[in-house]
């Protein structure tokens, strides 16, 4: 409690009322329906004039309102007409426009003007290298016209665009094209109509000089859909993979979820200035070029996979997001969690099931676990926010996907499909809630999700303690769970945690039956009969629950599982646990020389077996070779010393590189002989080839530099070339300078590849990386106005532990400087750099103080955006 307050003090001090915090429990339906919207755009890069005509009808489900609130952001009304008459009885409330309405139905016509070329926030209508495009999710539409900019207001849109034909030969909007023609003075126009009611965040417009890769798709009911991927002229040859991925996504969604496309055209446009990955606007997806353009010469295998994944993600939103949308932004995971799960399943189906699952877990652990254990922790369905852009997080997306995946695991595939069918049928055309989804899963899939709903309301990664005991013929698994406290949630209830478990007889290597256990109490024990001796425990197989498992386990058991587990994820996990256990012990100073030697030797033994196992495919081998990341290692400690973590991990890699030098060399030589192809075999070979180089670089830098330079020169694809350059970028070799220069000259003019050039240097193991970043920030190709470029330099640095956590605090200062410089230009992107600094409470005291001081410095600056202000306040709070 704080100091006692006298009654007068209480009277004098108004209730602490915070007008900018939006709360989930305050949801109210909107007073008006807006069944139809007609938008007329007079397009110009400098000025675009927007005439919006809305039909309005009272919403019988909301309290009667005598006015309508139309949201605006940096807008001024040029004119307002009500029922055909110019009116002046409107007023402003902050940025919003309030128009009195006394009847039951009205028509409004509002004219606004916007300046796309000056819109550096890249929200609303903006210019990107000579073209016009839009980004409206979450609250960008209010930067185009005054409108009830909330996802529960659904309207059909008719859009007319007119503009200079030479500047904007292509005019696109949502839905189907209906008419077009020529105007005066070299102008032309086009009209589009979208028959499906949608919220304003799904509106899109594109106007520019674009060319299309065009194709078509026949849906399951035999309808022909025209497909177009629009890009800048020179990029056309790099659109084939995106087109193939789109068609595969459309087919897969029909076969797996029974979802058919519902318009005559599906358009994708690639733009080079984009805050996020891509956007699912109805019938007109707008993409960051990074997730459209790919060919072997300029894109890596990982880039190819990312393109397929994002194309699928946005396409799948047509049902999980567009046909069924969100009631309010607290429900964001309703569409994002579900759609991420859908894109993950698609990618599992298209490529290696096991490898994709491992990658997804790695992403979750690297991005979401730290979020869940830090000051920004929030449930997948948050309770409050100030700026919704800050909640497009790994928690809402990736943990959201894991939560729905758990339902699928508990229900089984078939029942899950019944649940998703019911959800789509029941809520088609509606703005739904997470609760609606859960109820459809209960009714359709036959699950009881009463307690499971806690996964939507409680933040924090549950910790599960597991202990296996043995007596007579029975093995008993003792499980207990703790859900750690998170901001605003000091106490937690136990959650249902579905764990796939199997026991292995250690003598024979044989596995018993796989069980799905649901731990739904604080503690529970499960008995397994038929084991003459203590078996080996394989738990959370397939990562059936997004939890961390804590158990004391002998190294021999992990070595056994790393070699024998038939569940690929569990096998990977055993390998990770073996290494994590050793490194954490070493970092925390618990090992004497003999213990350290024994631990290392076990790891080398297990890794050597992986290198030599002829039954493994190379993609999977590549996963087993990845050392646990420094962030994940830091997560294992209450308070981490990034310097020690980096040094121990690096030393282990050098040891393994030296110890297994001949195996790595043999592997390298075998892989180097595999000719280029886009299939799993060849891409697996490329993956392990560069991994072998990484290990060799740690133990024998001179030899690795030679091999890397050779790989660079001989490369006939970007995966090999980038891999080689990545290794060289971390070494102090003359080849480093030569190849970096060559790479720049070779790809100058290809922005996505030049992004790689920046990122390789900012992410490198080179000791002078901060100096390099400082110099690169002054490079003529660097600009704060392009988010991809900003991320390629500064996000690569912020996730490079040895750079970001430089002992003198220079990395922290550099990120804080960036945030302050970027915030006035692009607040959404600036705010994304705050979370790395927000980790300070879990870092050793000297660095923690430096990190906190940088946050204080940002907080003290005036005029911060709401985005950055919220993230900094939560990080300090």
Residues that are catalytic: 314
Rg (CA), the chain: 28
Nearest to 70 by CA among 126, 139, 20, 16: 139
What does 334 bind: ligand ARG, Zn ion, none (CB cut-off 5 to 8 Å by kind)?
none
What does 855 bind: Zn ion, ligand ARG, none (CB cut-off 5 to 8 Å by kind)?
none
What does 73 bind: ligand ARG, Zn ion, none (CB cut-off 5 to 8 Å by kind)?
none
Q: Select 331 or 659, whichever has its Cβ closest to Zn ion.
A: 331
Q: Lay out the sheet containing 497-504: strands in order across.
A: 515-519, 497-504, 536-539
What does 194 bind: Zn ion, ligand ARG, none (CB cut-off 5 to 8 Å by kind)?
none
Q: Select 335 or 687, whichever has its Cβ closest to ligand ARG.
A: 335
Centroid of chain to Cα 411: 26
- Residue 326 beta carbon to ligand ARG: minimum distance, rounded to whole angstroms: 10
In the block, which residue shows the tokens 């309290």?
Answer: 63
Q: Select 314 or 700, whichever has its Cβ closest to ligand ARG.
A: 314
Question: Binding-site residue total for Zn ion (CB under 5 A)?
Answer: 2
Nearest to 396 by CA among 326, 483, 337, 453: 337
Q: Select 276 or 606, whichever has its Cβ closest to ligand ARG.
A: 276
The alpha carbon torsion through 584, 587, 588, 589 (nearest 10 deg) reads 120
DSSP string of 20-32, one letter each residue: T-EEGGG----SE
- Residue 434 beta carbon to ligand ARG: minimum distance, rounded to whole angstroms: 16
Q: What number of helices (H) and strands (E) belong to the chain?
A: 32, 31
Interacting stretch for Zn ion, rule CB under 5 A, among 332-340, 530-538, 572-580, 773-781?
332-340
Q: Please, which residues have CB within 8 angstroms of residue 186's CB and are 6 or more apart in sequence?
A: 164, 165, 166
Centroid of chain to Cα 577: 25
Region label for 94, one of left (φ > 0), alpha (ψ between -120 and 50) or beta (otherwise) = left
> From CA 474, how far away is CA 503, in angstroms rounded?
11
What does 281 bind: Zn ion, ligand ARG, none (CB cut-off 5 to 8 Å by kind)?
none
Using DSSP bridges, classify how beta strands 224-231 and 211-218 pair: parallel, antiparallel or unpaired.
Answer: antiparallel
In the block, which residue shows the tokens 């410089």?
Answer: 821
Q: Select 342 or 805, whichever has its Cβ closest to Zn ion.
A: 342
- Residue 66 beta carbon to ligand ARG: minimum distance, rounded to whole angstroms: 33
- Residue 309 beta carbon to ligand ARG: minimum distance, rounded to whole angstroms: 11
Number of residues in the chain: 877
Q: Which residues bind to ligand ARG, rule: CB under 6 A?
A: 137-138, 275-276, 278-280, 313-314, 336, 389, 392, 828
DSSP string of 323-387, one letter each residue: TBEESSGGGHHHHHHHHHHHHHHHHHHHS-HHHHHHHHHHHIIIIIHHHHTSTT---SS-SEES-
- Residue 336 beta carbon to ligand ARG: minimum distance, rounded to whole angstroms: 6
Residue 92: exposure state from Cβ atoms within 10 A (0-12, 13-18, ≥19): exposed
Q: Select 387 or 618, whichever has its Cβ closest to ligand ARG.
A: 387
What does 275 bind: ligand ARG, Zn ion, none (CB cut-off 5 to 8 Å by kind)?
ligand ARG
What does 538 bind: Zn ion, ligand ARG, none (CB cut-off 5 to 8 Å by kind)?
none
- Residue 344 beta carbon to Zn ion: minimum distance, rounded to whole angstroms: 12
What does 354 bind: Zn ion, ligand ARG, none (CB cut-off 5 to 8 Å by kind)?
none
In the block, which residue shows the tokens 């899109």?
Answer: 204
Q: What phi and psi values does residue 808 have, to the nearest 5 degrees? A: -85, 0
Q: Select 285 or 538, whichever has its Cβ closest to Zn ion.
A: 285
Instruction: Give me 815's structure tokens.
Output: 């990120």
Interacting stretch for Zn ion, rule CB under 5 A, among 331-339, 538-546, 576-584, 801-809?
331-339
What does 389 bind: ligand ARG, Zn ion, none (CB cut-off 5 to 8 Å by kind)?
ligand ARG
Residues 761 and 772 sit within 8 Å (Cβ to Cβ)? yes
Q: Select 275 or 788, whichever has its Cβ closest to ligand ARG.
A: 275
Residue 228, CA distances (Å) to 170, 212, 271, 361 in order: 12, 6, 14, 33
Residues 205 and 227 sit within 8 Å (Cβ to Cβ)? no
- Residue 819 beta carbon to ligand ARG: minimum distance, rounded to whole angstroms: 17
Residues 813 and 857 sit within 8 Å (Cβ to Cβ)? no
The interface with Zn ion within residues 339-378 (CB under 5 A) comprises 339
Q: Select 160 or 405, whichever has its Cβ closest to ligand ARG.
A: 405
Residues 59 and 31 sit within 8 Å (Cβ to Cβ)? yes
- Residue 414 beta carbon to Zn ion: minimum distance, rounded to whole angstroms: 26
The interface with Zn ion within residues 253-272 (CB under 5 A) comprises none
Interacting stretch for Zn ion, rule CB under 5 A, among 47-55, 223-231, 253-261, 336-344?
336-344
- Residue 693 beta carbon to ligand ARG: minimum distance, rounded to whole angstroms: 34
Residues that bind Zn ion (CB under 5 A): 336, 339
């Amino acid at each position: 409690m704080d100091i006692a307050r006298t009654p007068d003090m209480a009277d004098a001090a108004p209730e602490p009322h915070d007008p900018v915090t939006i709360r989930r429990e305050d949801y109210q339906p909107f007073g008006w329906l807006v069944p139809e919207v007609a938008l007329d755009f007079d397009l110009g890069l400098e000025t675009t004039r927007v005439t919006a005509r809305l039909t309005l009808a009272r919403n019988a489900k909301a309290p009667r309102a005598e006015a309508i609130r139309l949201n605006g952001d940096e807008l001024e009304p040029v004119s307002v007409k009500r029922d055909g008459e110019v009116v002046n009885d409107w007023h402003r409330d902050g940025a919003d426009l309030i128009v009195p309405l006394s009847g039951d139905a009205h028509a409004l016509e509002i004219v606004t003007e916007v300046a796309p070329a000056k819109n550096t926030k890249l929200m609303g209508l903006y210019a990107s290298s000579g073209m016009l495009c839009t980004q409206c999710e979450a609250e960008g539409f209010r930067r185009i016209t005054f409108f009830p900019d909330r996802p529960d207001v659904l309207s059909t849109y008719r859009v007319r665009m007119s503009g200079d034909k030479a500047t904007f030969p292509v005019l696109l909007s949502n839905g189907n094209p209906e008419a077009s023609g020529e105007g005066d003075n070299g102008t032309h126009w086009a009209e589009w109509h979208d028959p499906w009611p949608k919220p304003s965040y799904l509106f899109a417009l594109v106007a520019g000089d674009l060319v299309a890769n065009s194709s078509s798709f026949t849906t399951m009911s035999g309808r022909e859909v025209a497909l177009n991927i629009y890009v800048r002229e020179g990029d056309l040859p790099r659109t084939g993979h995106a087109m193939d991925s789109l068609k595969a996504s459309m087919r897969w969604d029909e076969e797996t979820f029974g979802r058919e496309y519902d318009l005559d055209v599906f358009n994708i446009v690639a733009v080079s200035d984009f805050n996020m990955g891509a956007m699912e606007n109805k019938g007109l997806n707008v993409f960051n070029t990074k997730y459209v353009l790919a060919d072997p010469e300029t894109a890596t295998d990982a880039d190819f996979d990312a393109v397929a994944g994002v194309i699928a993600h946005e396409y799948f939103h047509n049902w999980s997001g567009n046909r069924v949308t969100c009631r309010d932004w607290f429900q964001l995971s309703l569409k994002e969690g579900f759609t991420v799960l859908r894109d993950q399943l698609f990618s599992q189906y298209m490529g290696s099931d096991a490898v994709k699952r491992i990658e997804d877990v790695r992403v979750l652990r690297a991005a979401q676990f730290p979020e869940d254990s830090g000051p920004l922790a929030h449930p997948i369905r948050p309770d409050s926010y100030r700026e919704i852009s800050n909640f497009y997080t790994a928690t809402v997306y990736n943990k959201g996907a894991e939560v729905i995946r758990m339902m699928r695991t508990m229900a089984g595939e078939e029942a899950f499909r019944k649940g998703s069918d019911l959800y789509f049928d029941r809520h088609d055309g509606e703005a739904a809630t997470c609760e609606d989804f859960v109820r459809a899963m209960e009714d359709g899939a036959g699950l009881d999700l009463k307690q499971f709903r806690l996964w939507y309301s409680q933040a924090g990664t549950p910790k599960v303690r597991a202990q296996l005991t043995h007596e007579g013929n029975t093995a008993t698994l003792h499980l207990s769970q703790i859900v750690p406290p998170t901001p605003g949630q000091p106490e937690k209830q136990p959650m249902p945690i579905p764990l796939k478990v199997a026991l292995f007889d250690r003598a024979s290597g044989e596995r018993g039956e796989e069980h799905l256990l649901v731990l739904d109490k604080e503690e529970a024990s499960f008995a397994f009969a038929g084991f003459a001796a203590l078996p080996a425990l394989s738990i959370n197989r397939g990562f059936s629950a997004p939890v961390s498992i804590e158990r004391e386990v002998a190294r021999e058991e992990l070595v056994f599982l790393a070699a024998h587990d038939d569940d690929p994820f569990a096998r990977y996990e055993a390998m990770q646990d073996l290494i994590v256990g050793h490194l954490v012990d070493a970092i925390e100073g618990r090992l004497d020389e003999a213990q350290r030697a024994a631990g290392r030797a076990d790891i080398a033994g297990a890794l050597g077996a992986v290198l030599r196992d002829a039954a493994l495919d190379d993609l999977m081998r590549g996963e087993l070779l990845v050392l646990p990341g420094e962030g994940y290692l830091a997560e294992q400690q209450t308070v981490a010393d990034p310097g020690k973590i980096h040094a121990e991990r690096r030393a282990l890699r050098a040891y393994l590189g030296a110890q297994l030098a001949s195996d790595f060399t043999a592997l390298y030589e075998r892989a180097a002989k595999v000719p280029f192809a886009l299939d799993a075999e060849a891409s697996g070979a490329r993956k392990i080839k560069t991994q072998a180089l990484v290990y060799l670089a740690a133990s024998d830098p001179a030899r690795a530099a030679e091999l890397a330079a050779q790989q660079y020169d001989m490369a006939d694809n970007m995966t090999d070339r980038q891999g080689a350059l990545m290794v060289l970028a971390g070494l102090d070799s003359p080849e480093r300078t030569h190849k970096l220069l060559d790479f720049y000259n070779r790809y100058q003019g290809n922005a996505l590849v030049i992004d790689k050039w920046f990122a390789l240097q900012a992410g490198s193991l080179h000791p002078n990386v901060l100096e390099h970043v400082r110099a690169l920030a002054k490079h003529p190709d660097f600009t704060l106005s392009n988010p991809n470029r900003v991320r390629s330099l500064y996000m690569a640095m912020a996730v490079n532990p040895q750079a970001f956590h430089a002992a003198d605090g220079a990395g922290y200062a550099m990120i804080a400087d960036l945030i302050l410089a970027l915030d006035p230009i692009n607040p959404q992107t600036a705010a994304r750099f705050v979370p790395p600094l927000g980790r300070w409470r879990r870092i050793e005291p000297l660095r923690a103080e430096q990190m906190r001081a940088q946050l204080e410095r940002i907080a003290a600056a005036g005029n911060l955006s709401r985005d950055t202000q919220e993230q900094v306040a939560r990080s300090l709070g």
